[in-house]
Chain A
Amino acid sequence: DTEVTQTPKHLVMGMTNKKSLKCEQHMGHRAMYWYKQKAKKPPELMFVYSYEKLSINESVPSRFSPECPNSSLLNLHLHALQPEDSALYLCASSQGDTTYNEQFFGPGTRLTVL
């Protein structure tokens, strides 16, 4: 299995809602990533988990809360989002060996905040 899966594919939420994005991989990778991608822009790194521990937080607002319950699963909990948070949220994984970082990306969750 060489896939990274993400659910849901699309999500529409109001500014007072609480929702979660889910990412899963079964490649034995020990590093997992969340990216935010606005239209016509490159992905922007949000969080990195290495061996299930948060290793990088790129100054992301606290309304985004990541969670890594186990080595195969990565969640992104959303609360009190703003319309400008509407974007494609991409999950990726890599082996976790810092000498070689090929990241495998999921198809993304397209989020719309009303």
Chain B
Amino acid sequence: AQSVTQLDSQVPVFEEAPVELRCNYSSSVSVYLFWYVQYPNQGLQLLLKYLSGSTLVKSINGFEAEFNKSQTSFHLRKPSVHISDTAEYFCAVSDQGYSTLTFGKGTMLLVSP
């Protein structure tokens, strides 16, 4: 069985400040890792993913996440946030060789001016 822990249910931050959203997972096998973003009243959009290779993955809108196997973490970072980044962020894990996702409880990023 696998699980995902997002310790922070809400992260308030000022515009242009850096942010880190934390994600830790537990699994007895190799995994794929994902960050999804959900804007208010919308579905989920894939933000970035780690499948293999370089442990640092980046999105087109400035987010990045680093896979750390020894610490079983996949934290999401952005050096300078915008008001438009306000959304719910879900970390998810999938066993390699199996087809379902396990989601964390989500972190609400609140960006204020």
A residues apposed to B, CB below 8 Å = 4, 6, 31, 40-43, 45, 48, 50, 55-56, 90, 92, 94, 96, 98-108, 110
- Pick from A92, A101, A107: contact of B32, CB under 8 Å: A101
Q: A56 contacts B90, CB within 8 Å? A: no
Q: B106 contacts A98, CB within 8 Å? A: no
Rounded to whole Å, the gap between the CB of A32 and the closest CB of chain B is 11
Within the assembled complex, what's the spacing in Å between the Cα atoms of A90 and B104?
A: 17
Q: Which A residues are CB-close (under 8 A) to B45? A: 105
Within the assembled complex, what's the spacing in Å between the Cα atoms of A83 and B98?
A: 33
- B105 part of interface (Cβ distance < 8 Å): yes
- Pick from A56, A99, A104: contact of B100, CB under 8 Å: A56
Q: A43 contacts B103, CB within 8 Å? A: yes
Given contacts A42-B90, A42-B106, contact A104 B32 (CB under 8 A): no
- Pick from A98, A104, A105: contact of B99, CB under 8 Å: A98
Q: B46 contacts A102, CB within 8 Å? A: yes
8 A-B interface contacts by CB (under 8 A): A43-B103, A45-B100, A48-B99, A101-B94, A102-B34, A105-B44, A105-B45, A107-B43
Rounded to whole Å, the gap between the CB of A39 and the closest CB of chain B is 10
Q: A99 contacts B96, CB within 8 Å? A: yes
Within the assembled complex, what's the spacing in Å between the Cα atoms of A103 and B103?
A: 12
Within the assembled complex, what's the spacing in Å between the Cα atoms of A55 and B100?
A: 11
What size tier do the contact residues of chain B reach? 20 to 34
Q: A42 contacts B94, CB within 8 Å? A: no
Within the assembled complex, what's the spacing in Å between the Cα atoms of A41 and B43?
A: 13
The A/B interface has a contact count, at CB < 8 Å, of 55
Within the assembled complex, what's the spacing in Å between the Cα atoms of A103 and B49?
A: 11
Q: A42 contacts B105, CB within 8 Å? A: yes
Within the assembled complex, what's the spacing in Å between the Cα atoms of A96 and B106?
A: 25
The interface bits of chain B over 23-60 (1 if a CB of A lies within 8 angstroms of the residue's CB, else 0) are 00000000010101000011111100101000000000
Rounded to whole Å, the gap between the CB of A19 and the closest CB of chain B is 20
Given contacts A31-B99, A41-B106, A99-B96, contact A90 B43 (CB under 8 A): yes
Within the assembled complex, what's the spacing in Å between the Cα atoms of A94 and B106?
A: 22
Within the assembled complex, what's the spacing in Å between the Cα atoms of A106 and B46?
A: 11
